[in-house]
Amino acid sequence: MLEFISRPWPWYVAGPIIGLMVPALLYTAGKPLGVSSALRHACAAVLPGKAEYFKYDWKKQGGWNLIFVFGIFVGGAIASLVLHGGEAISISAATWSDLSALGMTDFSGFMPSQLLSWSALGTLPGFICIVVGGFLVGFGARYAGGCTSGHAISGLANLQLPSLIAVIGFFVGGMLTTYFVLPYLI
Amino acid sequence: MVSKATPPQIKPIHYLAYGFLGFIFGITLIKSEVVSWFRIQEMFRLQAFHMYGVIGSAVLVAGISLFLIKRFGARDVHDRPVMVAPKEMNGGINVSVGGLLFGFGWALTGACPGPLYALIGSGFSVMIASLLSALLGTWVYGILKPRLPH
């Protein structure tokens, strides 16, 4: 059993587990799955300032969400410490060759060290990927009213038109960056 | 339609449940490798089915669950009827422009908000810088919100 769960999980195992988070959170917290709201709750808790957007009872509305993301952090730690299979990520040959052609050399781990590491942070490409990328994730998710979990999963599952538009935006934005920005950064 | 009944008593066991679900979610994100920058590249380059399979089957399972919840009028642990608030559309600018900006960020960091926490937990400490930056982005959005088109 441990050996089985230590290997990388196929999509047909991971997807349904993620999907079941929606009814599980609706039952326990009365809220659908959504992760980016936790960023708002954290801002409301730490530096609300004068903005109306952060003036609400974050403990009551966001307590469940903050505990949930803390759980994600612990899950990430346990998955790596205890359930680590040690395999390199087997990405498709096409992606490997495209990225190699752009100059990527290190394919170990979850992310390329030449863009996403503490030593890369001081370089312009690293700063753009780590800091500008992070900023856009936070700003964009809250502007759109949700991220991959809130829009792509909960929203699409609930047949929400705004979520469909947001998800199209995610993919158009991601593809534009992949084809027109990343080639200059790698 | 909102009842003014006493707010639900959230007990430690409930918080434990939220944390446990996050824990399972975090393990799943890592073990399915959806936290990987390389997997996100495969997705945006349309070169592998993995991410589409994960998101697609998640939407299918969540959708069937929501259908059953509505069909049978399920109630939550506090005996409130389960309801999912509709997403705000307004003029559609919020979801389209916000979605586009989020997409830029997703391709750069290779991580959306859930994976950020999972990656930090799994030892990729540089993602702390991305998370702090995402918090700053959220804060700037909160400040600018009254002046942005929605």
- Written as six digits, the tokens of A117 are 């590491």
Identify which of B55, B103, B109 has the shortest CB distance to residue A130. Answer: B109
Segment holding A23, helix H or strand E: helix A11-28
Q: What confidence tens digit (pLDDT) does each residue in B4-15 have?
A: 556 678 888 999
The whole-number average pLDDT for the span A94-117 is 93
R_g of chain A, CA atoms, integer Å = 19
The helix/strand/coil state of B54 is: helix
Which residues on B lie below 8 Å from A20 (Cβ)?
61-62, 65
Q: What pLDDT, on a 0 to 100 scale, did the predictor assign at position B1?
A: 45
- How many A/B residue pairs have CB atoms within 8 Å? 521
Greater pLDDT, B48 or B87: B48
Helix ranges (DSSP H) in chain B: 12-31, 37-44, 50-72, 93-109, 113-121, 127-144
Cα nearest neighbour of B83 on chain A: A30
| Pick among A4, A6, A13, A18 to test the B interface (most B CBs inside 10 A) | A18
Tell me what the pLDDT averaged over chain A comes to.
93
DSSP assignment letter at B90:
T
> First CA to last CA across chain A, in angstroms?
39
* Residues 6 or more apart whose Cβ sits within 8 Å of residue A178: B41, B44, B45, B107
> Could you give the percent of chain A with pLDDT greater than 70?
96
Q: What confidence tens digit (pLDDT) does each residue in A154-186 have?
A: 999 999 999 999 999 999 999 999 999 999 999
**Are A147 and B102 within 8 A, CB to CB?**
yes
Position A20: which residue type? L
Provide the shortest C-alpha distance from residue B5 to chain A (in Å): 15
Which residues on B lie below 8 Å from A146 (Cβ)?
87
Distance CA A19, CA A85 (A): 24
**Are B59 and A11 within 8 A, CB to CB?**
no
Identify which of B8, B10, B137 has the shortest CB distance to residue A139. Answer: B137
The helix/strand/coil state of B23 is: helix
Task: Categorize the per-residue pLDDT at A48 as very low, low, confident or very high, splitting at 50, 70 and 90.
Answer: confident
Q: What confidence tens digit (pLDDT) does each residue in A50-93 have?
A: 899 999 999 999 999 999 999 999 999 999 888 776 567 888 99
**Are A138 and B138 within 8 A, CB to CB?**
yes
- Written as six digits, the tokens of B85 are 């608030």
Segment holding A177, helix H or strand E: helix A161-180
Distance CA B136, CA B131 (A): 9
Identify which of A19, A120, A143 has the shortest CB distance to residue B98. Answer: A143
Which residues on B lie below 8 Å from A150 (Cβ)?
87
The CA–CA distances, whole Å, from B58 to A89, A143, A151, B55 equal: 22, 24, 12, 5
Q: How many CA atoms lie within 13 A of A7 on its CB side?
A: 8
The whole-number average pLDDT for the span A132-137 is 98
Identify which of A72, A78, A162 has the shortest CB distance to residue B117. Answer: A72
Q: What confidence tens digit (pLDDT) does each residue in B119-132 have?
A: 999 999 999 999 99
**Are B98 and A83 within 8 A, CB to CB?**
no
**Are A71 and B19 within 8 A, CB to CB?**
yes
Distance CA A102, CA A78 (A): 34
Q: What confidence tens digit (pLDDT) does each residue in B68-126 have?
A: 999 998 888 888 888 888 888 878 899 999 999 999 999 999 999 999 999 999 999 99
Task: Categorize the per-residue pLDDT at A8 as very low, low, confident or very high, splitting at 50, 70 and 90.
Answer: confident
Domain limits, chain A: 1-87, 91-186
The whole-number average pLDDT for the span A95-106 is 94
